[in-house]
Amino acid sequence: MGRQGVSSAINKTDKKRLIFAALYTEICLAFPVIDAMRDGYDAMFVVDAVGGMSQLAHRTAIERLTAAGAVPNTSLALVTELFRDWKSPIADKAREVIKSYLPEAQKLLAARYPTGGADCPSAHSLRYSRDGRPQCMEATATPGAGSGAGSKCCRTAAPEPSLLS
C-alpha cells in the first residue's frame, strides 16, 4: 500500500492523532511523521521503538521531528498513557506486560551503558540524570536524605563514546 493508500485508510478513521514507530529514525520515521503533520495530523513517535543508522543520525532525527512539532515518547510512557483506567477488569493484564517490560528495559540500559566493571546489584536501578544519561541509583535510602531517597552508586553510567574520539 503506497502513501495514498495509507493516507486514505487513515482518513477513513477520522482520527487526528497518530503514533509512529519505525526501523530507521532518520528515514522510515522522519518522512511519514513530517508528511502526517503536513496533512494536519498530530504526531507522536516512540523513541525506544526506532533506531538510527548511527547515534548521531538517530538523535538528529529526533531533534528534527521534535522541532517540527511531533511529540517524542517512550513505549512505557505510551502504554501507561493509553491505559488510563487502572481500576478496570483488564488492568492486571496491563500490569503483567509492564512488570515484564521493566526488568528487560533495565537489562538493555545496563548493557548499553556499562557501569564501569561489574553490573549493578539487583537492589540498584538505572535512572536518568538531568543531562539525560542513565545512572545507577541505589534503591535504599541515603542516611539523612529521608525515606526512599536514592543515592548515586559508585558505578555511574559511562558516557557514550564520541564520534570524534
Neighbours of 157 (CB within 10 A): 22
Model pLDDT for residues 116-137, shown as the tens digit of each residue: 334 454 445 555 555 545 555 5
Residue 162: pLDDT band (50, 70, 90) is: very low
139-158 residue pLDDT tens = 444 444 444 444 444 444 44
| pLDDT of res. 85 | 77
Domains in the chain, ordered, with CATH? 1-85 (3.40.50.850), 109-157 (no CATH)
Average pLDDT of the chain?
74
Separate counts of helices (H) and strands (E) for the chain = 5, 5
